[in-house]
Chains A and B, each alone.
Chain A
Amino acid sequence: MFRKLLIACLTLTLLLTACGSALPTPQPTSIPTQIPPTAAATAAAAPTTAIAPIVLTDGLGREVTLASPAQRVVSLAPSNTEILFAVGAGAQVVGRDEFSDYPEEAKSVASIGGSMGQYSLEAITALGPDLVLASGLNSPELVKSLEDLGLTVFYLPNPTTLEEMYANLLTVAQLTGHETQAVTLIESLKARVAAVDQKVAPLSSRPSVFYELDSTDPGKPYTAGPGTFVTLLIERAGGFNVGANLDSAWAPISLEQLVVYNPDMIILGDSLFGTTPESVKGRPGWQALQAVQQDRIYPFDDNLVSRPGPRLVDGLEQLAKLLHPDAFK
């Protein structure tokens, strides 16, 4: 009886699979966008000189085409939101992920979710965006679903150097029609980085730094390793990240290993979560570190180094000040 059943089921399955592949793939339907009066006004005010369509290749190797600069943008990552506002496209942002909290104006933009990797496709669709700006935080599956819904998605690649970050600024500016502003912005960012370079170059000391990301287990706190902006910026600011010795980008480091490295200072990237220099001093075993004995523990705004946008340069300047207080008065 089982065999007969098995054959019947198999046949049915085969039939259905065959039907499934024969079915036409759902065509992306264009989404009706009802542009509210305010957004329409902004759109009219924006420069509309570009007649040729904008064609750019994104971080997933997809060719993305916009007929004209995007006027209703949904940002899927805090770094993207910061870039959009920095290049002057803030007024064109109609939606942002839950964690986008900078600049202040971004908070009043409608949220489309994003905690635990769950974005609301419904909320994004309801906003009727002409561009969804994804980032390295977002999965290719999310990009695909948005694309299947007929939305234009641009996946901004995750930069690993300042140059790549500048390139991202320019890309976002091209997509939103703010190239001139972006060029000026990049010039000024480069000038600020050059100023730091100039002050750091003659210094002979290179303090070693332990950058703490998470201390849920004080016996093995998480730190940033090689290939991260934390390491890159600490080095650029005239220091050395002891986490650079690890073999992955984000990893726990044991207290024993930390005692061996004995960094000159501890920077608390987890101060946003309530870690303070006092709480570090109170941890069992941490008295063995010279940074703790000499009270060289500093709270730090991790958003300046974890969000690959223009504020990386703010992060560089603040790190340089912490590492070389005398040179950066």
Chain B
Amino acid sequence: MRRPYLWTLLFLALAVLLSLAIGSVWIPPQDLWGILKGALLKRLPAQLETFAFIVWKIRLPRTLLIALTGAALGGSGTAYQGLFRNPLADPYLIGVASGAGLGAVIAMSIKWPYSFWGLMAIPLAAFVAALLTVLIVYALARVGNSVPTTNLILAGVAFSSFATSLTSFLMLRSTGEVRRALGWLLGGASQSGWLAVLSLLPYLILGLGILVFSGHALNLLQFGDEQAQQMGLNVSRAKSIVLLAASLATAAAVAFSGIIGFIGLIVPHILRLWWGADYRRLLPLSILGGAGALLVMDVFARVVLAPQEIPVGIVTALTGAPFFLWVLRRAKNQGYW
């Protein structure tokens, strides 16, 4: 398949359309067409008003939030895999998810007033805790001026399990808020609206913006730290910048959408299989592909048990876990990496 950008953009456009068209309330295609036409001509037939409200006020913000989340996870997944030179790395490898979970559960254990800041307390706490976790892990793994990859992974895994067990302990101790915590941890973006989209955007633009331009550095890093250094790359600085940029994007996504696993793993691998491992191309493609893939899975999450919705994290894990195993097998047999 040639023309990777064309295909990925086409997939993303299709996913956006699907996400606007399909939900727990069935809107017939001709009505959907009427709504789109109505928006363009600024004139809407009265009988379509309820449907139009659903499409523009509920589905559009949700679609954007999911797309941004998928973009963050796809992009930072690719960056982490390149950085750690490990096909099994995902954006949560060094503790973003467990840190965010801990922050969120701590915030949930406090009774906040029903106000703007009371409602923002949980995503803010999750975001701050996720970033703190990455910084702590980074500081723990640092040896002098360099940050050995193995140290990072080990420190990340150890700190993650510490944070996860603390989260479980707090959930056990808390009364009543466990359902809320559980819903959040499983990843559900259905109840967010425009505020989440606008709050997420700046961090994603910063984080993913840096990643898009880190392709060359990641390509060099694939030769190993020493080689990359000889080729003129400031290795420890490049690694730090990529790590922080990817973590920033992931932390913001996690704070508003909850913990959604496996997207950061599946998307980069499929794209790498199709269009090769050049990070200059792979990074932007994973960002676009991640957005599209998560949108498609979110459509599934909305319709499988309609009118009930299942958290999208369950859908991604259900499809992602078998894929993870397949990648594991393949990496062992052929080592396409």
A contact set with B: CB distance below 8 Å:
1-2, 5-6, 8-10, 12-14, 16-17, 20, 23, 25-26, 29, 31-32, 34, 60-62, 98, 110-123, 125-126, 128, 136-137, 139-145, 148-149, 158, 227, 248-251
Contact A16-B201, Cβ < 8 Å, known A116-B183, A145-B193: yes
Q: Which residue of B lies closest to A248 (CB)?
A: B175
Contact A29-B206, Cβ < 8 Å, known A2-B241, A120-B25, A137-B179: no
- Choose among B24, B54, B186, B209 the residue that contacts A113 (Cβ–Cβ < 8 A): B24
Contact A120-B24, Cβ < 8 Å, known A12-B205, A140-B118: yes
Chain A residues, Cβ within 8 Å of B199:
20
Chain B residues, Cβ within 8 Å of A23:
198
Chain B residues, Cβ within 8 Å of A32:
46, 49-50, 53
Q: Which residue of A lies closest to B25 (CB)?
A: A122
Give me 10 A-to-B residue pairs in the complex whose CB atoms sit less than 8 angstroms apart, sorted by A's number.
Answer: A6-B241, A10-B206, A34-B47, A62-B114, A121-B191, A126-B25, A144-B114, A144-B193, A249-B175, A249-B176
State the CA gap A39–B275 with chains docked (Å): 58
State the CA gap A60–B112 with chains docked (Å): 10
If A9-B210, A248-B175 are given as contacts, then 18 extra A-B residue pairs at C-beta distance below 8 Å, sorted by A number, are A5-B213, A16-B202, A26-B194, A32-B49, A34-B50, A111-B307, A118-B308, A118-B311, A120-B23, A122-B24, A123-B307, A125-B54, A126-B25, A126-B50, A141-B119, A145-B191, A149-B57, A248-B173
State the CA gap A111–B305 with chains docked (Å): 12
Contact A144-B119, Cβ < 8 Å, known A9-B205, A17-B202, A32-B49: yes
A123→B180 contact, CB < 8 A: no
- Decide yes or no whether B289 CB sits under 8 A from chain A: no
Minimum CB–CB distance for A4 against chain B, Å: 10
Contact A122-B191, Cβ < 8 Å, known A9-B205, A12-B205, A140-B114: no
Chain A residues, Cβ within 8 Å of B112:
140
Interface of B is mostly: helix
- Decide yes or no whether B237 CB sits under 8 A from chain A: yes
- Decide yes or no whether B31 CB sits under 8 A from chain A: no
Chain A residues, Cβ within 8 Å of B305:
115
B307→A5 contact, CB < 8 A: no
Bin the interface of chain B by size: 35 or more
Minimum CB–CB distance for A249 against chain B, Å: 4
State the CA gap A141–B198 with chains docked (Å): 16
State the CA gap A149–B311 with chains docked (Å): 21
Q: Which residue of B lies closest to A247 (CB)?
A: B173
Contact A117-B307, Cβ < 8 Å, known A10-B206, A62-B114, A123-B24: no
A113→B309 contact, CB < 8 A: yes
State the CA gap A258–B210 with chains docked (Å): 58
Minimum CB–CB distance for A27 against chain B, Å: 10
Contact A61-B114, Cβ < 8 Å, known A116-B183, A117-B183, A118-B311: yes
State the CA gap A10–B241 with chains docked (Å): 14
- Decide yes or no whether B76 CB sits under 8 A from chain A: no
State the CA gap A40–B175 with chains docked (Å): 42
A5→B210 contact, CB < 8 A: yes
Chain A residues, Cβ within 8 Å of B186:
116
State the CA gap A58–B334 with chains docked (Å): 62
Minimum CB–CB distance for B250 against chain A, Å: 16
B46-76 interface with A by 8 A CB criterion: 46-47, 49-50, 53-54, 57-59
State the CA gap A114–B308 with chains docked (Å): 6
Chain A residues, Cβ within 8 Å of B174:
248
Minimum CB–CB distance for B233 against chain A, Å: 11
- Decide yes or no whether B143 CB sits under 8 A from chain A: no
Q: Which residue of B lies closest to A17 (CB)?
A: B202
Chain A residues, Cβ within 8 Å of B237:
2
State the CA gap A62–B23 with chains docked (Å): 30
A140→B202 contact, CB < 8 A: no
Contact A20-B57, Cβ < 8 Å, known A117-B179, A120-B307: no
Q: Which residue of A lies closest to B192 (CB)?
A: A145
B190→A121 contact, CB < 8 A: yes
* Chain A to chain B: the 10 pairs with minimum beta-carbon distance, closest first: A117-B183, A60-B114, A113-B308, A120-B24, A118-B309, A122-B25, A249-B175, A9-B209, A123-B307, A32-B49
B280-327 interface with A by 8 A CB criterion: 302, 305-311
A29→B306 contact, CB < 8 A: no
Minimum CB–CB distance for A170 against chain B, Å: 22
State the CA gap A98–B310 with chains docked (Å): 13
Q: Which residue of B lies closest to A145 (CB)?
A: B191
- Decide yes or no whether B87 CB sits under 8 A from chain A: no
A116→B310 contact, CB < 8 A: yes
Chain B residues, Cβ within 8 Å of A25:
194
Q: Which residue of B lies closest to A26 (CB)?
A: B194
Chain B residues, Cβ within 8 Å of A128:
50
Chain B residues, Cβ within 8 Å of A145:
191-193
Chain A residues, Cβ within 8 Å of B179:
117, 137
Q: Which residue of A lies closest to B306 (CB)?
A: A120
Minimum CB–CB distance for B243 against chain A, Å: 13
Chain A residues, Cβ within 8 Å of B231:
none
State the CA gap A136–B302 with chains docked (Å): 24
Chain A residues, Cβ within 8 Å of B182:
116-117
- Choose among B59, B173, B198, B213 the residue that contacts A122 (Cβ–Cβ < 8 A): B59
Contact A13-B202, Cβ < 8 Å, known A2-B237, A26-B194, A61-B114: yes
Minimum CB–CB distance for B193 against chain A, Å: 5
- Decide yes or no whether B99 CB sits under 8 A from chain A: no
State the CA gap A115–B201 with chains docked (Å): 30
State the CA gap A136–B50 with chains docked (Å): 29
Minimum CB–CB distance for B223 against chain A, Å: 19
